[in-house]
Amino acid sequence: MSIRRDFFENATELLTQLPRGAFLSVRANGTANTMTIGWGMMGFIWRKPILMVMVRFSRHTYGLMEASDTFTVSFPSSDGYKEMLAQAGKLSGRDMDKFRDLHIPIQEAQTVDGPVIDNCGLIIECRTLYKQAMNPNDLDEEIRTNFYADDDYHMLYYGEVLACYHNDK
Ligand SMILES: Cc1cc2nc3c(=O)[nH]c(=O)nc-3n(C[C@H](O)[C@H](O)[C@H](O)COP(=O)(O)O)c2cc1C
């Protein structure tokens, strides 16, 4: 298995599903959570395959991402997870255990300490190599007005792809 080749060969699937929603999952200090993401980038930096995800400071997930150096992203390959994606993208792990209360099945990741969504589709496991908080001063005015009126900016996490596989077949 070649992580780099597998990652890039699944680019179309990853980028097609991302705007429809994927599960960003992380465990830190014994607590795990998942939230829906719709934005991100895949690329090749530092001679490594990279998946970048964007987490607003207000998210419960943000605190967990800060306390952990790994994360996973699970991209559903069928509509079976549509309702769970909607709920995980609305409710907060601050108030509930989403895995338990929303009946989101999980299995342990292969290369990092954290969960992935079970029987889901394309799974990416990452180790954060770099993070960068958005600087409002450097942001296009229209984007700022449209997406950040409440000053709730994103932290960008650049994850080295450690594993890339399907768990739905
Ligand atoms: C389709 C969809 C895509 C989303 N994409 C993102 C995203 O890329 N980054 C982000 O910070 N929040 C995103 N959200 C919002 C979070 O999923 C939502 O605020 C969630 O309740 C946060 O959960 P948490 O507080 O447990 O971390 C998205 C929501 C939906 C429904």
Output the tens digit of pLDDT for each of the chain's 169 residues.
Answer: 689 999 999 999 999 999 999 999 999 999 999 999 999 999 999 999 999 999 999 999 999 999 999 999 999 999 999 999 999 999 999 999 999 999 999 999 999 999 999 999 999 999 999 999 999 999 999 999 999 999 999 999 999 999 999 999 7
- Can you give the length of the chain in residues? 169
- Strands (DSSP E) along 16-98, which ranges? 22-28, 31-37, 40-45, 48-56, 70-76
pLDDT at position 169, please? 72
Ligand 1 in reach of 93 Cβ (< 6 A): yes
The CATH number of whichever domain residue 33 belongs to comes to: 2.30.110.10
Per the structure, how many domains does the chain have? 1
What is the residue range of 137's domain? 3-166
Residue 53 CA: nearest ligand 1 atom is: 8
User: Ligand 1 pocket check: which of 59, 91, 101, 157 to mutate, most ligand atoms within 8 Å of Cβ?
Assistant: 59
Question: What is the token pair recorded at 81?
Answer: 């997870």
Q: Characterize the bridge pairing of strands 40-45 and 48-56.
A: antiparallel
